[in-house]
Structure 1
């Protein structure tokens, strides 16, 4: 047996192939592949698939959120536009209302001023008429008094002027 073991050693030195080593290496490699597949490759692939699903879900959620954000942005812009239009309409309505109110106030004030003016003119006319009537009554009284005095005595032009001056003075004091 020694001869065969020498031959193996000699063959190995020369570069020959040892069938036992080849089989052992193949079995070891197959066992290593099996163990790697069972304990490393399988769980690694499961983790990779899990990670791929997670990333895919995150991308889907992000895309969905982006679409929702764009939709919300468009809705907000539309609401802002509508709000601005409503505010402008309210401002225009307020301006119109203020102008109408201004016109009605001016009209009422003008009418009130006209009424006051008419009333004042009527009061002036009444007072004027009262003054004219009072003056006529005084003139009539004075005329009667002058006539009675003239009849009582005959007077010359100087006495007549003196008499008129006295009556005018009396009328002035009565006022």
Structure 2
């Protein structure tokens, strides 16, 4: 198990900040990439959001208070960056939600980095029909296997609200997958 306290000390010291940040990247880059990727779908967008996430972590490590795990703090930053990215894209496109969902599905089908089976593609299509908050809660619970307490800390939402969102998302996905 990795020691957060020692890494944070190294991250906040000018002498060891660079090497500690490289270690931080090695430890968390892949996990955060896949979390972000599930939110923004596109590989290129996920790379951009991941880069922005690590820039924020680097610039704000001094403000980390240790009230949560370092990864939870970074996960919250990544989540917020991904949501901000989606909102900016939605404003730029200013298209309706249905068009945005169809575009997301088309992008997923054309994505050379997506190596999923037909059922995984269908699940991703079902996910694309959910509101962003439900997508996020479903991804965090189903794919990332986070506990509701961790999700509550990251999203700053009550566990009860998260359980309700997850339940609704599951029902909508089941309905989508069983139609046809």
- Normalized against structure 1, the TM-score is what? 0.17
More helix by share: 1
Relative contact order, higher structure (CA 8 A, sep 6+): 2
Greater C-alpha Rg: 1
- Normalized against structure 2, the TM-score is what? 0.16
